[in-house]
Amino acid sequence: METTRPLDIRPSSPQLWTGILTGPFAFATAFMTKYAMVQWICDHKAEWIFWLITAIALLLCAFGAFESWRGLKNGEETKRVRFMGIGGLALNAAFAMSIVAMAIPHLYLGACE
């Protein structure tokens, strides 16, 4: 007697969930990494690392938006797919703007200020 059954995962689900979760993950990771590295960056005068972290976080947001769009186009035409696809695009755009806003002070202030 078999007590387990195979998982029924829709083909678009991993793409949609990746799209929704990537933007918040990128923002939180960039925020915490910048905070944790301030002293080291100040000691070594390596302010370019702030810009590297920002660029990587923005690339992650772009990847999340691409996955949301791909899940929206490849998924079945249901309300769930449309909601998650458009929501993922909006979340990634909002978190990308937040990452850019988080980088603006680096234009005016140094790591040691």
pLDDT score for 75: 74
pLDDT score for 1: 58
Please provide the average confidence, as pLDDT, over all residues in the chain. 91
Ranges of each domain in the chain: 13-108
- String of b and e for 13-24 (b: at least 16 CB within 10 Å)? eebbebbbebbb
**Token match 């680096």: residue?**
106
For 20-56, write each residue's pLDDT tens digit: 999 999 999 999 999 999 999 999 999 999 999 999 9
Band the pLDDT of 13: cuts 50, 70, 90. Answer: confident
Band the pLDDT of 78: cuts 50, 70, 90. Answer: confident
Band the pLDDT of 110: cuts 50, 70, 90. Answer: confident
With a threshold of 0.85, does the pTM exceed it?
yes
Rounded distance between C-alpha atoms, residue 7 and residue 25, angstroms: 26
